[in-house]
Structure 1
């Protein structure tokens, strides 16, 4: 019999419930429902006393395994510092994550307390303001966090060069001229970023696009989904919110202005970091393209075919918003 070698398996819900009951001191039995499947598997877990949690089973990605040790340490530091975040729940053994064996290998698991509140509205200035404030508070708290042994650094190698290689290696972009354009845009972007002498380094959320949060009754943005975080460029962490305003056909930067003003009310942004954020929009987009390109065998070429069309967006952003910032 042929032995298939799976890239990605999906556990039965009953197995997830058993795993949580085994590893976490919740009021059992726990009842679960899958919320999403993809970059990670995410489940709503409800204990028998009605308490709600979110269980995340990490997917092994092209970058390597999830850095749950550093991620959960940072989240605990933020929660202890009074920053509104979804804190990890300790296991019965006192660790902040667990591991389980899947057909494709070991997968890391984290249980979080569910966040109360509503989803942010892309056009709501109050929500943009809340996101900017929480990110600034996060960066303030990051100054007293030591990410000892972090698996990933959010530098240009991690965010730009390796994702670009994944795009090219995947075969998704068949047109040699488009690949050459992507190479040239990436090279100019890296050169422009490296020309800044004093970019701030911090511990990044890594995915602060405005929707990895819930707006609570106090109007605060409570952050979650730190899976792409790590020590890196503060300008990149800022840029993700701007990128979300202008990518995939969106063109308004009004909420970016509100977000930046709210951030600056808590913490200053250096001129270099602010200017570099516009360049990091390109880095962010290539990073996302690389993430999807690395999934071509798993999701299928049609699901990631949009990547071949994205050079147009990158060219336009570079021409309209970055040319004056090159030198």
Structure 2
């Protein structure tokens, strides 16, 4: 992913989206299409005569095959989780022709658009033990449901190639082999990969993962249920990697983190198993996730972010963070 050059990412005009998409959905007459959030994808809030919806316009790197995979996964999960106590998912809206997406022409290339139901609820910041226990139950129910999903489309895996090798290549291409940080990053990546390899040989739980379970995509609560959405990174991987993203949440106070994490794991284990080896691997995958994030930063510099905020301070901050892990002595 992210290898092809692309033009600068545009923000598609809401009026254009309304003109192209309004007749494709049976959701009432459009009253407002508001550009809502610029993230990895672009999000629009759509209000119609029948209610509120969320329109996601994916970046050009996300292909039709990627979206087909995500929508197939969502369709299956919706059926499996139909009677779930703790867990639901963000549901996409079928078009009138019973397809799930539209390919739009943008200046930078083809972009896929999908309409989702608007998630009503409260964003739970997981700042108390009860909430963390309940979220752990929900995450386990989601993994249990994903064990029942049958995905036939080809897909990358959340393995060390995805988490370490490919990010390293992007980072080094950006900063240059002659940069004094390059040698350290090569060594760090090699050692991190070796440690994950050793941990993996202990029989870590693997299966379909959400892939981006950092909390903001999973912490909306309706009654006793947590609503999980943004499955664009879903793929087979280590479940410890999924949960690592929750443990690394920045919204929790430092002194409470271990207590809240223990509550979350207890909730998870009340639904499905999570071995001691899996739990011990979580901190390792927190580091791997940060390395992947560094590579993700680089992936969008030319087409989206611009280089100003990704210079020496950005590089030094990551290098210092990685040195502090003690992986490279």
- Residue number in structure 1 paired with 2:274: 269
4+ runs of 1 displaced by more than 4 Å?
Answer: 63-66
| C-alpha RMSD over aligned residues | 2.6
| Contact 1:89–1:96, Cα closer than 8 Å, also in 2 | yes
- Residue number in structure 2 paired with 1:254: 259
1:139 to 135, 143, 150: 143
SS for the counterpart of 2:195 is helix
Shift of 1:177: 3.4
SS for the counterpart of 2:180 is helix
Q: In 2 relative to 1, CA 255–35 (structure 1 residues): closer, same or farther, beyond 3 Å?
A: farther
Query: What is the TM-score of this pair, normalised by structure 1?
Result: 0.87
SS for the counterpart of 2:243 is helix
Query: What is the TM-score of this pair, normalised by structure 2?
Result: 0.86
**Equivalent-residue separation in structure 1 for 2:171 and 2:260 (angstroms):** 30
| Contact 1:66–1:108, Cα closer than 8 Å, also in 2 | no
- Residue number in structure 1 paired with 2:26: 25
- Residue number in structure 1 paired with 2:324: 316
- Residue number in structure 2 paired with 1:80: 79
- Residue number in structure 2 paired with 1:211: 216
SS for the counterpart of 1:101 is strand
Q: Deviations over 1:156-192 (max 9, x none)?
A: 1112110111111122x89833222222221111111
Q: In 2 relative to 1, CA 36–90 (structure 1 residues): closer, same or farther, beyond 3 Å?
A: same
Shift of 1:223: 0.9
- Residue number in structure 1 paired with 2:117: 113
Shift of 1:18: 2.2
- Residue number in structure 2 paired with 1:301: 307
| Contact 2:121–2:221, Cα closer than 8 Å, also in 1 | yes
Q: Deviations over 1:251-286 (max 9, x none)?
A: 743332222121111111023322222211111001
Provide structure 2 residue ranges, at least 5 long, that are not aligned to the other structure.
Answer: 1-5, 82-86
| Contact 2:93–2:100, Cα closer than 8 Å, also in 1 | yes
Q: Deviations over 1:129-180 (max 9, x none)?
A: 3332221111101111122114322111112110111111122x89833222
Provide structure 1 residue ranges, at least 5 long, that are not aligned to the other structure.
Answer: none
Length, aligned pairs only: 313
**Equivalent-residue separation in structure 1 for 2:15 and 2:97 (angstroms):** 22
1:95 to 99, 114, 117: 99
**Equivalent-residue separation in structure 2 for 1:217 and 1:295 (angstroms):** 34
**Equivalent-residue separation in structure 1 for 2:248 and 2:149 (angstroms):** 27
